[in-house]
Each structure stands twice: as structure tokens, then as C-alpha cells.
């Protein structure tokens, strides 16, 4: 992809260390590109939450974000789901390798949430409990699924949603970057609560509409702010004000962890701008049509005696 300084979506972001005095072990990145083949605009957003003491957590999250961005920046966008999966696997390997290179980094890891928007098509991948939300016409959906003990217990009806609140196992991750084996990125995109895995996977490439918002965030926000409150903030004002208000709210409730948000918005003009971009198939058809017209004109000139070398 070709870097661009003009993203086709709006971007608002903030990362705060919280109120406990701990290092900020979150990392995030947003970057705009255009596909080399047809100049389709593309936007990449990544959020990661590091795991590990002695500053190893912030090293892990930084490596995760940097590796995923570097991998996808070199992609052509022709197979976005496969390329997205490979980028997250690569990020996990990079974190694991860095952990083996220094004793103080042993056991470090990271969550990751990646959003890749090509034109107006949405592609996502997650590992851990950093989340991706989608807002459309006042309805907030959590697209991603947490890879935690709590989520598994809820899915297997071991505990109730009421029991899940403030549960002592709330932060036990069942999947993260940095293990000895390649991580399995979660490519499911849950639209309805009753979606099975097949339907959730098939939603990759979901077409965004003007007014849609995509929120990536770490658990420092979602531990303290309910989904209802997230939705209210996203519908109450501009992107920057929404992000600022959510960080203030999480801090006011204790801010016991790092808080990171990236909010992407689809402006009204985005659909028009994307439609103006010709696809490779459109260009190829136009070239083929022109070549056919030239061939027909040459044949007519030959038959009518206008061919100068006849």
C-alpha cells in the first residue's frame, strides 16, 4: 500500500495511563494508505494492551502494533482476510521472540485489536480482550469476542451475566500474543447475538455506511464503562468530544488500568469518494473496449480502401 496523509474516515484517539501511577502498557496506531492497484483509500487502526512487569508490557504492545502495521502496510489488499490473519500471527511471533531475548521480558505478551478498512469494507481481527465496537443509527454492537475465562464461562452457562460482574477471574486471558505456539487470530465479526461462527466469519468485508462509527479500545475502558454508556457518548457529539468524555468517565471511576480508544467515523462524503475510484476490473474493461474499437476501425479502413499500405 502507498502511505497517504489524507484518511478517508475521521479519526479520534487518546491513550491515558490511568490513576494508579503504573506505566502505560497500551499502544495504538492509525495510518492511511491507498492501494497501489487502483488507489482505493484504506485505513488501518491497531490497539494493543501489554502484559508483563518491569516495563515488559509496554514493550510487548509496542512490538505487536509495530509488527502488525508493518506487515499490512506491505500488503496489496487483494486477500484482506488472509493478510490480516498473517499480520496478527506475525505480531505474536515477534512478541515471543523478543521475550526470549531478555530475561526481564520472560512471559510478556499482549492483546491486539486490528481494524482494516478498504474503501468502505470492514475487516477485523482480535486476540485477547481489547474490543471492537460498531455503531450505526444509534445501535452499538460489540463485533469482537473476548478471549477470557469469563467469556467462556458465559458461553457454557457456567455463570450468569450478573455473576460475571466483578468476578475474580475477570482478567484471566485464554488467548494472547507472545506464547510458544502461533496464536489463532479471531476473525469472527458478531453482528447479532445469535450469530454462529460461520455467520460471524462471513461478515468479514462488511460494507460501512455514512455515519457509521468503529471503536477500538482496551479493557481499561470497558471494565469501568458500560456498553450503554459507550453508545450514549458516541451519539452525543463529535468524535473527539466522545473520546475525551469516555476517558474522563473511566478515570473518574478509578482509572485502575490504562485507557486507550481509537474512534473511526464514516463521513457523508466517503461513499462518493470511494465510488469515484475505478476498480481494476473497470479499468481492464475500459482498455479492452478501447482496443476493440481500434481493431474495428482498422478493419473498416482496410475494407473500404483507406488503408495506406493496402
Task: State residue 302's pLDDT score.
Answer: 53
Give one word for 27, left, alpha or beta, with left for phi > 0 and alpha for psi -120 to 50. Answer: beta
pLDDT in tens, 245-286: 999 999 999 999 999 999 999 998 876 666 655 445 444 544
- Which CATH number covers residue 257? 3.60.40.10
Q: Is the pLDDT of residue 193 over 50?
A: yes
Q: Is residue 177 domain-shared with residue 249, that is, in the same domain?
A: yes
Count of the separate structural domains present in the chain: 2
Domain carrying residue 304: 279-310
State the pLDDT confidence band at 142, using cuts at 50, 70 and 90.
Answer: very high
Please list, residue by residue across 212-237, b when 16 or more beta carbons sit within 10 angstroms of its beta carbon and e when fewer do: bbbbbbbbbbbbbbeeeebbbbbeee
Whether 236 and 296 map to the same domain: the answer is: no
Regarding whether 149 and 81 lie in a shared domain, the answer is yes
H helical segments located in the chain: 56-73, 80-100, 149-155, 161-164, 197-202, 219-222, 227-236, 239-252, 270-275, 280-303
Q: Do 66 and 114 share a structural domain?
A: yes
Which pLDDT score is estimated for 164?
A: 76
Residues 160 and 306 in one domain: no
147, 287: one domain: no
Q: First-to-last CA distance in the chain?
A: 49
Together in a domain, 253 and 283: no
pLDDT in tens, 3-20: 999 999 999 999 999 999
Dist CA 43 CA 124 (whole Å):
12
Identify the CA nearest to 208 among candidates 253, 128, 141.
141
Judgement on whether residues 155 and 260 belong to the same structural domain of the protein: yes
The rounded distance, in Å, linking the Cα atoms of 114 and 282 is 30
Q: What is the pLDDT of residues 63-96, one digit of tens each?
A: 999 999 999 999 999 999 999 999 999 999 999 9
**132 contacts 115 by C-beta, under 8 angstroms:** yes
295 in the same domain as 166: no
Report pTM. Answer: 0.86
Nearest Cα residue to 123 out of 37, 194, 185, 54: 185
251-276 residues labelled b (16+ CB within 10 A) or e (exposed): beeebebbbbbbbbbbeeebbeebee
Q: Please indicate, yes or no, whether residues 188 and 305 belong to a single structural domain of this protein.
A: no
174 and 288 share one domain? no
Residues 73, 51 contacting (CB under 8 angstroms): no
- Clarify whether residues 94 and 242 are in a common domain: yes
Amino acid at each position: 500500500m502507498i502511505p497517504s496523509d489524507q484518511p478517508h474516515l475521521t479519526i479520534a484517539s487518546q491513550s491515558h495511563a490511568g490513576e494508579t501511577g503504573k506505566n502505560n502498557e497500551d499502544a495504538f496506531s492509525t495510518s492511511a494508505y491507498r492501494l497501489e492497484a487502483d488507489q482505493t483509500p484504506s485505513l488501518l487502526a491497531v490497539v494493543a494492551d501489554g502484559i508483563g512487569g518491569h516495563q515488559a508490557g509496554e514493550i510487548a504492545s509496542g512490538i505487536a502494533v509495530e509488527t502488525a502495521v508493518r506487515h499490512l502496510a506491505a500488503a496489496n489488499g487483494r486477500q484482506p482476510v488472509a493478510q490480516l490473519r498473517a499480520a496478527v500471527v506475525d505480531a505474536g511471533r515477534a512478541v515471543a521472540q523478543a521475550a526470549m531475548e531478555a530475561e526481564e521480558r520472560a512471559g510478556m505478551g499482549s492483546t491486539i485489536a486490528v481494524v482494516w478498512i478498504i474503501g468502505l469494507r470492514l475487516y477485523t481481527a482480535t486476540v485477547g480482550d481489547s474490543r471492537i465496537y460498531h455503531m450505526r443509527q444509534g445501535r452499538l454492537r460489540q463485533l469482537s469476542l473476548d478471549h477470557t475465562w469469563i467469556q467462556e464461562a458465559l458461553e457454557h452457562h457456567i455463570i450468569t451475566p450478573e455473576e460475571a460482574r466483578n468476578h475474580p477471574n475477570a482478567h484471566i486471558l485464554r488467548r494472547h500474543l507472545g506464547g510458544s505456539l502461533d496464536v489463532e487470530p479471531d476473525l469472527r465479526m458478531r453482528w447479532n447475538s445469535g450469530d454462529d461462527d460461520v455467520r460471524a466469519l462471513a461478515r468479514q468485508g462488511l460494507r460501512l455506511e455514512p455515519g457509521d462509527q468503529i471503536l477500538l479500545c482496551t479493557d481499561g475502558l470497558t471494565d469501568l464503562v458500560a456498553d450503554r454508556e459507550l453508545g450514549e457518548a458516541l451519539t452525543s457529539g463529535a468524535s473527539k468530544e466522545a473520546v475525551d468524555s469516555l476517558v474522563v468517565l473511566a478515570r473518574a471511576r478509578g482509572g485502575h488500568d490504562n485507557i486507550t480508544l481509537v474512534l473511526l467515523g464514516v463521513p457523508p462524503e466517503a461513499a462518493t469518494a470511494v465510488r469515484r475510484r475505478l476498480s481494476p476490473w473497470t479499468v481492464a474493461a475500459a482498455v479492452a473496449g478501447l482496443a476493440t474499437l481500434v481493431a474495428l476501425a482498422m478493419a473498416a479502413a482496410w475494407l473500404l480502401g483507406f488503408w495506406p499500405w493496402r
